[in-house]
Structure 1
Amino acid sequence: MRIHFIAIGGSAMHNLAIALHQKGYQVSGSDDTIHNPSKSRLEKYGLLPAEFGWFPEKISANLDVIILGMHAKKNNLELLKAQELGLKIYSYPEFLYEQSKDKTRVVIGGSHGKTTITSMILHVLNYHEREVDYMVGAQLEGFETMVHLTTDNDFIVLEGDEYLSSPIDRRPKFHLYKPNIALLSGIAWDHINVFPTFENYVDQFKIFTDAMVNGGSMVYNIEDEYVKNVVESSENHIKKYPYETPNYFIEDGTTYLETAEGDLPLEIFGKHNLQNLAGAKWICQHMGIDEDDFYEAIASFSGASKRLEKIAENKTTVIFKDFAHSPSKVAATTKAIKEQYAKRTVLACLELHTYSSLNAEFLSEYKGALNTADKAVVFYSPHAVKIKQLSEVTKQQIANAFQRDDLIVYTNPQDFKDFLFQESLQNTAMVLMSSGNYGGLDFEELTRLV
């Protein structure tokens, strides 16, 4: 099969390209810019385009499939040529469904926690040498790619993102997977550029639940009132399995899970991560892993990349990097750090980077999100606000939104960097929360402070 990727350089897209190349397909692609690690990984497999840009001449009737990434626009020259030729055009999730129609599809959805839960499941399965196909939104230790597709494996585990599928397919990605087994971790308003009201956002999870295969199994977080309502009010003929935070305690900086076999020390921490663990256990049990085997494997799970990822530590200082950007994620991450390091000063740094977080109307959702931190810093780039064509956001608006009098706000990357490098980190737990990089912060240079 000959497959061409329009916008091959994206995190998900380049991993799918590599997976299909490894499966034996003939893969080509284009993009107007590709950064590392995508660039070097595509180059390793001989898939990096010879030059950047869009080239309609690459599109011919000889191609079997076009896979269209979100980075492309509706008027993309290659897309227009493919449409003119009547070629089969798939979005990323559409193609994944086509590849998994004959498999048992396990889909992990929710506004937060889905990458971590998917990672936990794959870690446990890998530990016990259970082969499955998968797609996950982070690079995992022990896994070469974020996507793996075979002809033979019975299961496929998919991280179910609620964002749009492609420039010409405005359906949320997870609506396309039609799971046999699913999980919903939580619902907290996000992507307001696509889902303008909270009610509209919640509706997407109702559609996801109702799209499950008849007789399927839904594992859901009963402690989230919106998830509980969505699942328990669904009239779809599915089996429903609630989960909640398991019993745990913290001793000398280590979190222990209370189990029937005794107290189990974990490498992860935070109530939200213990919740994630409970959900992952249910899913693994549905996939044939018993409780004891799950606990044996999960004890060595250290987390997914950029999800409470420890990047530096000495006897008095620890620094974490976290993908948290939505209000609920920021609050959960900050609270987890403070609970784990109760005797240290918690320095929480948040970059407002996404469309939602930089939207003046959405800012009030951050009320109290940084309250458990001893010191709180917010960084945002006025330039990023302009690029996203949003109304200007002022420092005062941000201070008012978080409702914290001592909140420190930076808009200049160098000023923010100077603050970090001049700050005493003795007896400190620092967390850097962002889906960006604070205007070019060198995280490796920062770790040398410790």
Structure 2
Amino acid sequence: MNENFQNVHIIAIGGAVMSSLAIALQNKGLKITGSDDKIYDPSLSALKSNKLLPGSEGWDESNITEDLDAVIVGMHAKADNPELIKAQNLGLKILSYPEFIRSQSENKQRIVIAGSHGKTTITSMIVHVLQYWNKPCDYLLGAKIKGLDNTIQLSDAPVIVIEGDEYLSSPIDPSPKFLKYDHHIALISGTEWDHINVFPTMESYVEQFEKLADSSPKAGSLIYCEDDRMAVLIGSKERDDVKAIPYKAPKYTVKDGQFLLHGNIPLKVFGKHNMQNLEGARKVLDLIGITDEQFYEAIPSYEGAEKRNNLVKANDSTALYSDFAHAPSKLKATIHAVKELHPNRKLTACFELHTFSSLNKDFLPHYENKMAKADEAIVYYNPSTLASKNNDMTLTEHELQSFFGRDNLLVFTDKAALQQHLTSKNWTNADLLMMSSGNFGGLDMNQLANQIID
């Protein structure tokens, strides 16, 4: 690691990645302080247990002193943040978190996993296989993974596997995070328009992935999913001395509610999209010395990322799954996965509109037919969330039915009414899938599972 950074302050320490970074750096012996105006669980509990929770919420210029070696600023902060302005006035070293990660991985082989979907899963699959075979690696993940204490590890390992986010690096640096890492190997799982608040057109969004591919170094490798049209257009472009490697879903079968890779390798994950993710991970691992035999021995014990295809509760005829799905492609893939797992059960799919994009009428038409495989489709949104993200917009049931291309779409704006509807149904030989990057207005998923399963 870079020994020049020993005393570091983190502005916006409460974010999922920023709190994990703070813990990782403290574990390496650095002196870490931080600030934020709002901190929620699980970051709050993690910071508190590691004695990194700020004494009070808010920004305080006195946190910024001349003896700091670096200030790391997260996207939650604004350009006029008083701590950031003071750091600028003092001439301190100011870095976004991807710039800091790059500074700590100078002598490592850097692998960046990018895409509108699947990047958390592919990154964690790679890390899982490497750890299974006791191969040292560092990593940066955007979500909690079963079996890993922290989502970031920085050590003297020769390889770092990074979940590459296309979103802006910091409030003073509008370039995508994944361009900061100077990758040797990059993977693009697919591109579907997202983050319309910063990428107002599909073209401007896809352009970021083209920049990532074009920044591949000589003798580098670019892996791309050939099941995704835009990934193929980007990945198959001729680039001097860059190895282009396509991948697609391998052969698999489904038997008794379990996915079998190549017919005989049992998996704990399910869905065609996860088969694609698995193959992408295998292609990356092949480039760094993991054989197919090693991969197929390790991957059956991979349990997946938290909040992705999460089984809340099940019995012999009913299961409740929760998933982080929010983008149109993720919504469709998750519904297809559960339906493929239990094809003879009725599926009720419930989706919460929660992100800025999903609560925007210019973007909502992209959800058309994405819930077509569900036997019953439900959309929920919290009016207060809509007001906070698009305060001049209203949504009617008819409009949402039109956007989703489904006349029988049910729409709820009240958590209690949604829960009443779900608990009043007959769940014999039926599954429930709850999809959101939010929490359905505070709906207790375990309580719901107990109500419908019991």
TM-score w.r.t. the length of structure 1 is 0.97
Larger deviation: 273-282 or 386-395? 386-395
**CA deviations over 1:356-397 (Å, ceiling 9, x no partner):** 111011111111000000011000122212211353222221
The match for 1:298 is 299
| Alignment partner of 2:193 out of 189, 213, 218 | 189
Q: Give the whole-Å Cα distance in 2 for the aligned partners of 1:138 and 1:199.
A: 27
| Alignment partner of 1:59 out of 43, 60, 64 | 64
Q: Give the whole-Å Cα distance in 2 for the aligned partners of 1:269 and 1:318.
A: 14
The match for 2:236 is 232
Change in 2 beyond 3 A, CA 1:153/1:395: same
Matching of residues 119-130 of structure 1 within 5 Å:
119-130=124-135
2:381 maps to 1:380:
yes
Q: Secondary structure at the match of 2:182?
A: coil
The match for 2:434 is 432
The match for 1:270 is 271
For the Cα contact (< 8 Å) 1:206–1:234, is it kept in 2? no
2:161 maps to 1:157:
yes
For the Cα contact (< 8 Å) 1:334–1:348, is it kept in 2? yes
**CA deviations over 1:153-179 (Å, ceiling 9, x no partner):** 100000011111111111111111111
Q: Give the whole-Å Cα distance in 2 for the aligned partners of 1:336 and 1:296.
A: 23
The match for 1:49 is 54
For the Cα contact (< 8 Å) 2:12–2:74, is it kept in 1? yes
Matching of residues 2-81 of structure 1 within 5 Å:
2-81=7-86
- Compute the displacement of 1:420 (Å): 2.2
Q: Secondary structure at the match of 1:8?
A: coil
Q: Give the whole-Å Cα distance in 1 for the aligned partners of 2:408 and 2:397.
A: 13
Letter in 1 for 2:364: L
Matching of residues 228-377 of structure 1 within 5 Å:
228-258=232-262, 263-377=264-378
2:420 maps to 1:418:
yes
For the Cα contact (< 8 Å) 2:189–2:225, is it kept in 1? yes
| Alignment partner of 1:85 out of 83, 90, 104 | 90
- Compute the displacement of 1:141 (Å): 1.9
For the Cα contact (< 8 Å) 1:254–1:267, is it kept in 2? yes
Change in 2 beyond 3 A, CA 1:94/1:28: same
2:181 maps to 1:177:
yes
Q: Give the whole-Å Cα distance in 1 for the aligned partners of 2:39 and 2:114.
A: 28
For the Cα contact (< 8 Å) 2:224–2:247, is it kept in 1? yes
Letter in 2 for 1:20: L
Q: Give the whole-Å Cα distance in 1 for the aligned partners of 2:181 and 2:424.
A: 49
The match for 2:3 is none
2:201 maps to 1:200:
no
Letter in 2 for 1:36: D
Larger deviation: 8-17 or 138-147? 138-147
For the Cα contact (< 8 Å) 1:382–1:393, is it kept in 2? no
For the Cα contact (< 8 Å) 2:223–2:280, is it kept in 1? yes
For the Cα contact (< 8 Å) 2:25–2:154, is it kept in 1? yes
| Alignment partner of 1:214 out of 209, 214, 218 | 218
The match for 1:406 is 408
- Compute the displacement of 1:444 (Å): 2.1
For the Cα contact (< 8 Å) 1:348–1:376, is it kept in 2? yes
Q: Percent identity?
A: 47
Q: Give the whole-Å Cα distance in 2 for the aligned partners of 1:438 and 1:6.
A: 29
TM-score w.r.t. the length of structure 2 is 0.96
Letter in 2 for 1:397: E
Change in 2 beyond 3 A, CA 1:234/1:21: farther
The match for 2:106 is 101
Letter in 1 for 2:106: K
Stretches of structure 1 that go unaligned for 5 or more consecutive residues are: none
Q: Secondary structure at the match of 1:71?
A: coil
Change in 2 beyond 3 A, CA 1:72/1:24: same
For the Cα contact (< 8 Å) 2:184–2:216, is it kept in 1? yes
- Compute the displacement of 1:236 (Å): 4.6
For the Cα contact (< 8 Å) 2:252–2:259, is it kept in 1? yes
Q: Secondary structure at the match of 2:301?
A: coil
Change in 2 beyond 3 A, CA 1:234/1:86: farther
Q: Secondary structure at the match of 2:161?
A: strand
Question: Which aligned runs of 4 or more in structure 1 are off by greater than 6 angstroms?
Answer: none
Q: Give the whole-Å Cα distance in 2 for the aligned partners of 1:143 and 1:329.
A: 24
Q: Give the whole-Å Cα distance in 2 for the aligned partners of 1:431 and 1:89.
A: 43
**CA deviations over 1:90-142 (Å, ceiling 9, x no partner):** 11111111111221001100100001111111111111111101001121122
Q: Give the whole-Å Cα distance in 1 for the aligned partners of 2:26 and 2:405.
A: 51
Larger deviation: 234-243 or 20-29? 234-243
Matching of residues 121-140 of structure 1 within 5 Å:
121-140=126-145
- Compute the displacement of 1:148 (Å): 0.4
For the Cα contact (< 8 Å) 2:146–2:303, is it kept in 1? no
- Compute the displacement of 1:28 (Å): 0.2
RMSD, aligned α-carbons: 1.2
For the Cα contact (< 8 Å) 2:98–2:181, is it kept in 1? yes
- Compute the displacement of 1:424 (Å): 2.4
For the Cα contact (< 8 Å) 1:106–1:157, is it kept in 2? yes
For the Cα contact (< 8 Å) 1:209–1:236, is it kept in 2? no
Q: Give the whole-Å Cα distance in 1 for the aligned partners of 2:340 and 2:42.
A: 34
Stretches of structure 2 that go unaligned for 5 or more consecutive residues are: 1-5
Q: Secondary structure at the match of 1:299?
A: helix
Q: Give the whole-Å Cα distance in 1 for the aligned partners of 2:401 and 2:56.
A: 45
- Compute the displacement of 1:447 (Å): 2.5
